[in-house]
Every structure is written in C-alpha cells, then in structure tokens.
Chain A
Amino acid sequence: TQLLEQSPQFLSIQEGENLTVYCNSSSVFSSLQWYRQEPGEGPVLLVTVVTGGEVKKLKRLTFQFGDARKDSSLHITAAQPGDTGLYLCAGALGGGADGLTFGKGTHLIIQP
C-alpha cells in the first residue's frame, strides 16, 4: 500500500496552460515537501509546508497543504517547457518515524 498517492502519474500539456498535481494520503504528516527531479539528476527541494491550510508561492508555482495535513497540491500557472520534470511529494510522519515517505511522482511534460 502506497502511503502517498500522487496523481496524475503522467501529464503532457501545451506551454501556457495551467495544471494541478495532487498528493493524497490517509495519514497525517507533520510536514510535506515537494521535490523536482530532472533526468539524470537527484531530486531538488522546491518547498516545505508545515501548517494545515498553508499556501506557499514560488513564482508561478503554488503549493497548498490540506487543512487536515493529509494531502497537498501543486498548481502551476502558465506552464513553460522549463517546468518539465518529475515532481515528487514527500511526507514526514510525526513521532520519530524514519525519514520521509515519497510518492511515486508525476511526470510532467510541457510542450512548446
């Protein structure tokens, strides 16, 4: 059973369109992180959300943490080809659990 479910798995859209990627769980997380991974490289942190209902913006990317801290979303406005990559969400369980739990990722392709 996957602790963190990401959807969609694959998404291919045209430059300029908007999109939303979801990260859902039945578990409560103390924090949730979003990473972006490009081919041949390791994941790189985009943002960490900690408080239920929190919204963070990073240029054209908007991240939201669910009120119950069980889910999160990533919204990209006016997508650009440079946004292409694998987007991973990762949750930290409380109570001293081991490290982060990663979702399987969303493969995003932005076509010019």
Chain B
Amino acid sequence: KQEVTQIPAALSVPEGENLVLNCSFTDSAIYNLQWFRQDPGKGLTSLLLIQSSQREQTSGRLNASLDKSSGRSTLYIAASQPGDSATYLCAGGTSYGKLTFGQGTILTVHP
C-alpha cells in the first residue's frame, strides 16, 4: 500500500526566498508523481507531473524532481511571492490505478 508523507507540515518564509518542499513515498513502483496547489476552500490546481521515467519537470519558478530509488520528490520554488501562499500537495500514482496524496505543506509567504 502506497503511503505518502510531506515535510514540513507548515512553512513560513519572507518574500523572495527560495524554498524546498519534500514528499516521500513508500512504494517505489510509483507510476508518476504530481504536485498540486490548493487555495483555502478551493479545488486542486495541478502544478507539475513527473512520469516515472523522468527525473524532473520545470514550469516557471517551479521545479520538481523525482528519485524513485530513494522514494523522494521535491518541489523547489524560486523567488517566492505572497501569491504562492497555499497548501501544496503531492500525489503518487501507481500502476494499479490509484492516486495517493500526502497531507500537504501549508506555505505562507509574507511580504
């Protein structure tokens, strides 16, 4: 059974700082790893999807990496802005067709 853990649970940083969010998973047979953003009371917005054959994906100020052997993924946010404040969730997809989510990291970027 896939278990996904996110560290830290919460993070508060000043604007402009570079930061890293961590995601670890127990089943190395992971199919893909997806990072989402959730604003309070809203649905999820997909940020980056990394397939198992890939090592990383980039979109603007975001970079996500995947290391299946160590069971880890990281989301790097460069030059953080107050608008980046949200809950960030990672989710592991497996070949048996389920998506397992971590508990999320609540990010606050203060001006």
A and B together in one complex: no
The chain B residues found within 8 Å of chain A, CB to CB, are: none
